Amino acid sequence: MVSRKRQQISVLVMSTLAFTLCFAAWMLFAVIGIPIKAELGLNQTQFGLLASTPVLTGALVRLPLGMWTDRFGGRIVFFLLMLATVAPIYLIAHATEYWHFLVAGLFVGLAGGSFSVGIAYCARWFDRKNQGFAMGVFGAGNSGAAVTKFVAPALVVAFGWQVVPQVYAAAMLVTAIAFWFLTWDDPTHRVGKSVSFAAQLRVLKDPRVWKYCQYYSIVFGGYVGLSLWMVQYYVAEYGFDIKVAALLAACFSLPGGVLRAVGGWLSDRYTAHKVTWWVMWVSWICLFFLSYPQTQFTVITVSGPRTFDIHLNVWVFTALMFVVGVAWAFGKASVFKYISDEFPKDIGAVSGIVGLVGGLGGFLLPIMFGALVDLTGVRSSAFMLLYGVTWVSLIWMYWTEVRSTDVMHGGRTAAASVSD
């Protein structure tokens, strides 16, 4: 008989590995989309749609998948979900038209729904005081975005982009089989059969759910959007080849994934409220500098005209992106700590809707990034948009939480008691 402790560890480790691969597949077009863009002659908006199409499906299925996890258990739902993505990933290698890639991307996007399955599945294996850390460890699977940036460019350069989806499809099949044999199911983790889907959805009437959706739209939606966008940004803005661009982009996506466990630990220790508040301020400051466009201006001096350049060199830019990645890693964990604290019996449904909204942000943002570049010709307009979204979160958080607690000096948090 396997001990409870060993079951907990095995469930958490295998779920995290499975989610890492699912997230890597979800971000596939962030890298192979660049040669596809050149091959098909796509503009920036079309590339944004291509890169984000999988995110749309992954966002839309998060709510039903979270509810099914509550009802049927995370093990069976996670296993079937991974199997369902194997064929679509493989078929990307045989696509030749733009619409082929979009349709395949919609089905590959199912992999992104694995988050709402795994987060509820893992959380219920741990007691409340350790749930933040457990969910943070699982959420570190977001580092799959960095895995794609390390693995896919090397495969593209060595064998061509068509090999990448073939390798990912094989890896997904092997991981699904390993997951099934190395995890367990606990019937006590499921909601009763007498609980209808309508009853599960009633929790969505709580205004706190929608506030957490807003927070998650920046810390996760922004993370996904930039993970999809940054490789081509480095190529276009700084002139790097795809391998160097992907490596630099990983400086954002890697800490944005692996440090989520630290964010969970911090949320357990200092509360989700305090961690999220500081995450928003750090994001706001960094995005302010990232938003400033490359600028050249001429001043008429007593010695004649003098031209000055104001710009972020690649090292400063990458350092700021690294800080944002760290902040958002903490923020992704702290938002779900809110959920496990305040909705312990509805983690699947609430995480599903919060994940859905965050995923929709990840879908819409690359398209909006591309449209803004096509419209304004300013690449940093992507960060201007994120700066505005962060402002909304800060204002909302201040009016509903911060006014009632002394966050600055470690006073009592009112996150759970303030009525929205």
pLDDT in tens, 382-403: 999 999 999 988 888 888 877 7
pLDDT in tens, 8-33: 889 999 999 999 999 899 889 988 99
| Chain-centroid distance, C-alpha 14 | 19
Confidence of residue 196 (pLDDT cuts 50, 70, 90): low
Mean pLDDT of 234-239: 88
SS (H, E, C) the chain: CCCHHHHHHHHHHHHHHHHHHHHHHHCCHHHHHHHHHHHHCCCHHHHHHHHHHHHHHHHHCHHHHHHHHHHHCHHHHHHHHHHHHHHHHHHHHHCCCHHHHHHHHHHHHHHHHHHHHHHHHHHCCCCHHHHHHHHHHHHHHHHHHHHHHHHHHHHHHHHCCCHHHHHHHHHHHHHHHHHHHCCCCCHHHCCCCCCCHHHHHHHHHCHHHHHHHHHHHHHCHHHHHHHHHHHHHHHHHHCCCHHHHHHHHHHHHHHHHHCHHHHHHHHHHHCHHHHHHHHHHHHHHHHHHHHCCCEEEEEEECCEEEEEEECCCHHHHHHHHHHHHHHHHHHHHHHHHHHHHHCCCCHHHHHHHHHHHHHHHHHHHHHHHHHHHHHHCCCCHHHHHHHHHHHHHHHHHHHHCHHHCCHHHCCCCCCCCCCC
For the cut 60, the answer to whether the pLDDT of residue 419 exceeds it is no
In the chain the domains, ranked by start, together with CATH numbers, are 4-185+205-406 (1.20.1250.20)
Show the CA angle centred on residue 115, arms to residues 343 and 335, nearest 5°. 45
Q: What is the pLDDT of residue 147?
A: 86
The answer, as to whether pTM is greater than 0.85, is: no
User: Which range scores top for mean pLDDT: 122-131, 307-316, 345-354?
Assistant: 307-316
Q: What is the pLDDT of residue 61?
A: 86
Mean pLDDT of 158-181: 94
pLDDT in tens, 401-411: 777 665 444 55
Confidence of residue 191 (pLDDT cuts 50, 70, 90): low
Mean pLDDT of 80-98: 94
pLDDT in tens, 364-383: 888 898 889 888 888 889 99
